[in-house]
Amino acid sequence: MTTKTAETLFRPLTIKGLTLKNRIVMAPMTRTFSPNGVPGQNVADYYRRRAEADVGLILSEGTVVARPASKNHPNIPFFHGDAALAGWKTVIDAVHGAGGRMGPQIWHTGSTIADKDYNPEGIESPSGLLAPGQPRGKAMTDADIADTIAAFAQAAADAKRLGFDTVEIHGAHGYLIDEFFWAGTNERQDQWGGSTIAERSRFAVEVAKAVRAAVGPDFPILFRASQWKQQDFSVRLANSPEEMASWLQPLVDAGVDVIHASQRRFWEPEFPEIDGEKGLNFAGWAKKLTGATTISVGSVGLSGEFIAAFGGESSKPASLDNLIERMERDEFDLIAVGRALLNDPQWVTKVQKGEFDALKEFSPAALGELV
């Protein structure tokens, strides 16, 4: 069990106009509890409970920008339209009423499949591919791309208008923006493709620029990135620090303040030992290379990793010592916690009090309910 004090996790952090009470982020987790795309009071109560228990920053489940077939399950919430936005206004008011800070994660799922029985019209991606050699949907036209960039910008503008504290652009896990990054799903020969990750980053850069223009200079923008894809866990977009810099630095230059560096296990090094930097994880390298604020994530406080949970695997509480050591040396700035917070709204409070023996096991049953 954890032997170190967790004090370092409870330092405040200011990012532009946003001050967080601690370094713990509720990771965005798909919940599918919003019929017809509209979050109800149960969703507001779910996030409020985490705010009441002192989560530093809450990131919502993925929410959909205004494009046809931009979600891959019928009960994923929209972040457009009067009814859905009214629902999200209820959510952020509840979180603020409990003293919390929150941002929506905005996304377009591209060609990925979550519900095999959900096949809406208009599925789109860079080249009409779900994975290398696997067609699904259509290749986007220039007009589709322009409209999608505008849809991300409008969602971000609506987030600010509703009173959210930040916004996160989802550019990871094999969804639309990530399908532009990945050579296996981006075979375009125009300005939206290319032979290098830097060239294939143009779509993401234009999304970031449009979002920045929509929210102004002082509203923090987060960007979630990953090497791995749902379609193939072994994929790597960057095989060296130089490639990683060419991928991530243009996003920071375009207006991204925080890189949310998604990996399945936060303690795994991103590269072999390079220039004495043995053991830096993805968020550590992203911070070192770009100077941006970074969020790490991946199986925090639990014995098993999250993909296995979808196969029915439970996890027991695990030591936080490794995390605390990395935070003490400022390898990264924030840590996102997923399943442990999904299973136990009081997780942060227990960690702050040193009540590690009171932390709960994770049961996959939690995926099917809003605790």
CB 94, CB 54: distance < 8 Å: no
* Residues recorded for the chain: 371
Residues contacting residue 368 through CB under 8 Å, at least 6 positions apart? none
Tracing tokens 């894809």 back to the chain, one arrives at 229
Which segments of the chain does DSSP mark as H helices, in order? Answer: 41-52, 82-97, 142-162, 176-181, 197-200, 202-215, 241-253, 282-290, 306-309, 321-328, 339-343, 347-352
Amino acid at 234: S
Name the active-site residue from 46, 47, 118, 175: 175
Helices and strands in the chain: count of H runs, count of E runs: 12, 14
175 is catalytic: yes
Measured between alpha carbons, how far is 8 from 331 in angstroms, rounded to an integer?
12
Measured between alpha carbons, how far is 275 from 97 in angstroms, rounded to an integer?
47
Residues assigned a catalytic role: 175
